[in-house]
Structure 1
């Protein structure tokens, strides 16, 4: 446990600022999901083209820059990397709103990807520096609320702005606040004292040797594979759900953004906090619950996801003039349980590595999530949707999305393989990799 940083109001304030930045990290990343239909219409591109724009193009550049920026934050400090990255991706998001053609939009999205590559891993590492091990899953759950709150604001507000003022204004108005938040972090948050000092050997160690040392930690590979598999399904569902509700259930863009963003995002928010607090409580009794909680949540989420995509048309109830589909009731359950894998897995990584390698280890996990999740998830579903069109017509997206749920089953297998290895590493520190740290939880 890190004894050098007592938890005070400054600790919580730093977490609040980091969580706010992470909200806009996800707003700017996910905004494209609600804007798919008007962007397709204006530039005349296919579902596969949208998958390339929102998936592979973003993921490749995020991955290329993720490890170097994580490595940089392990050396010069988390705060400057996070702050300047936030300012950069916010400016690039605003540039998306003035793109005159599809190529310009692609280049602006590349800029967003490069900026966001410096956000998640250093933020997780900074929270690890701020909070002791036995409170870390809850603290990281607060940070990770960015994904669900980002969906609420990005899809809900983004859909409303696009519906009334056009998709370009959505990029411009939602990108601007990140510039302020980056400056706020830089000027008002104190840098926490690290739990492990940076020595000369750390600064001179090559990145290939660092990677080899990280993967010598037995459970780390399975955690990375879990993140990749679960993210493929998660990003595919998150990216294409608004279009699914528009095409298969007859909603308009604003209604789909409200349901997926506000209702689904609220479920994900509650689920993220619940799994973080539950993990901290259960892991004090048995370290294996650090992996057991995400395994349980992922397994339970699978039937909810399948029911959401395969349930036929039908109205459950009305919210004003909006007919809420019966299928969406299952999405609410999936939103609550489908996020249980991310926070505990990130927290597990913070228990395995010292501060001098933590952002790099986290960056690898996030890179796997991004390259496979953001890169492959939306693209594969888009390609499957195009492939199914001749036989399924307007329902092609429904079955493409249902197919992606199989990846959650694969993620569950990876978690089963990680669980005994992780428990052994925590209970028997000698089995941890040479570069690892094992912290009592």
Structure 2
């Protein structure tokens, strides 16, 4: 399909935009994932179980992330995307800081709800910005680089969190002006919130690109958005639920991997932060960018379903590496964990890129929000709790967390393989549906 690449921003400007969005995504994932390294001190201070802790990790965040996401996606399709992202960063940063003031379990739940609602503003607007900054044959790579924020952010949460925990524990409780006595884990949330508020000013450097592609500048009623999604429902369902299964496996495992190393291999939180955090940053970033580059390579060779194919390949490759949770030798665990994180990361850039290729411009933010709704509610909302419930109610043994992770991650990834395989043909047909929609609007591809 020919495209006029001169209509897009310069390569330097486009990648500058990606770099700022990447920093925002890193910040969001640090705020989101730092909780995973703080399980034991928070459980102790709030006197809660693994299952209650998992609700802080997942469901409390995910419900309002998903509820807020769809209306915010519609805002991203018509209003200032930079302004929407700035408002979101401010809200989630203030609520992250508020987590550091939580004295009771329900206080923490409310704060995590606020973090989720704020973070919902970021990705639909970011995907839309990048789709208008890069021609189609470069989008998967660009969105994959942005999506590195998942693994850079999670890795930094573990790495920096581990260092801060080690330092803070050595210092003990801290007395702050006005606030008073705070625990080391509370101090971490307060610091992260402050960094986020300061970052809001960096977003002014983004210059919004003009809206491009089929449907650009077209005012689309909500009813028509629904009708269009119904017309490609097989592709949407297989895509969204298929990648949601991978998200389920990823969030379910990563929420408890630090605890797995602490309980099953005797590591300290600081050691987990250093070693596992480094693997997440390096292997995750390499995996997600490799997935995007591979998808763009396949697209140039004529595969119109390249993004879906890469997701399917990643799911197949991940399954054998799940054996890492059952291995006893720690050196072998680190070796296998690198490849496990690499393959788990591969799909999470191509998945949102795939959405951009089957939706008119004026519907991209909303479709991206629905995708995020699905993967977050299923993945983050249920994944960590599924693992915790296996540990608490099936095995009734804290040390069995390794088996819980293995069972949940492997079974749900097999489901993803089936769904993504079934979605290949419907996805190709959805590309054709978009072309026909454009012709009816007087905007042929």
Asked if 1:198 is matched to 2:234, the reply is: no
Q: Identify which of 318, 322, 329 aligns with 2:335.
A: 329
Cα deviations by residue, 1:367-397 (Å, 9 ceiling, x for unpaired): 111101111001111111101344xx34321
1:214 aligns with 2:220: no
3-state DSSP of counterpart to 2:190: helix
Distance 1:432 1:402 in 2: 44
User: What do residues 312-349 of structure 1 show as CA deviations (whole Å, max 9, x unaligned)?
Assistant: x2242xxxxxxxxx323211111111112221121111
Aligned twin of 1:364: 370
1:409 alignment counterpart: 414
Contact 1:354 1:436 in 2 (8 A): no
Tell me the residue number matched to 1:396: 400
Question: Per-residue deviation at 1:258?
Answer: 2.0
Shift in alpha-carbon separation, 1:241–1:432, aligned structure 2, 3 A: farther
Which residues of 2 match residues 251-330 of structure 1 at below 5 A?
A: 251-285=267-301, 286-305=303-322, 307-311=323-327, 313-316=328-331, 326-330=332-336
Deviating beyond 6 angstroms after TM superposition, the runs of 4 or more aligned structure 1 residues are: 431-440
Q: In structure 2, do the counterparts of structure 1 residues 116 and 365 end up closer, same or farther at CA, with 3 Å as the change threshold?
A: same
Alignment partners' CA distance in 2, 1:115 and 1:301:
31
Aligned mates of 1:437, 1:332 — CA distance in 2: 49
- Asked if 1:180 is matched to 2:198, the reply is yes
Partner of 1:171: 189
- Residue pairs, 1:365-384, within 5 angstroms: 365-384=371-390
Superposed CA deviations along residues 236-288 of structure 1, whole A, max 9, x for unmatched, are 11111000110011111111122222123310111111111111011111223
TM-score under structure 1 length normalisation? 0.91
1:153, distance to aligned residue in structure 2 (A): 0.8
How does the TM-score come out when normalised to structure 2? 0.90
**Offset at 1:210?**
2.2
SS in 2 for 1:51: helix
> 2:40 aligned with 1:37, yes or no?
yes
Cα distance, 1:46 vs structure 2: 0.2
- Whether the 8 Å CA contact 2:358–2:434 is kept in 1: the answer is no
Work out whether residues 7 and 131 of structure 1, in 8 Å CA contact, stay in contact via their aligned partners in 2: no
Distance in 1 of aligned mates of 2:373 and 2:353: 16
- Residue ranges of structure 1 left out of the alignment (5+ in a row): 317-325
Q: Secondary structure at the match of 2:357?
A: helix
2:176 corresponds in structure 1 to: none
How many residues get paired?
A: 422
1:228 aligned to 2:244?
A: yes
**Separation (CA, whole Å) in 2 of partners of 1:136 and 1:273:** 12
Contact persistence 1:351–1:439 (CA under 8 A): no
Aligned mate of 2:206, from 179, 186, 189: 189
Q: Taking structure 1 as reference, are residues 389 and 197 closer, same or farther at Cα in structure 2, changes over 3 Å only?
A: closer
Change in CA separation of 1:230 and 1:250 when aligned onto 2, cut-off 3 Å: same
Secondary structure at the aligned position of 2:390 is classed as helix
Secondary structure of the residue that 1:75 maps to in structure 2? coil
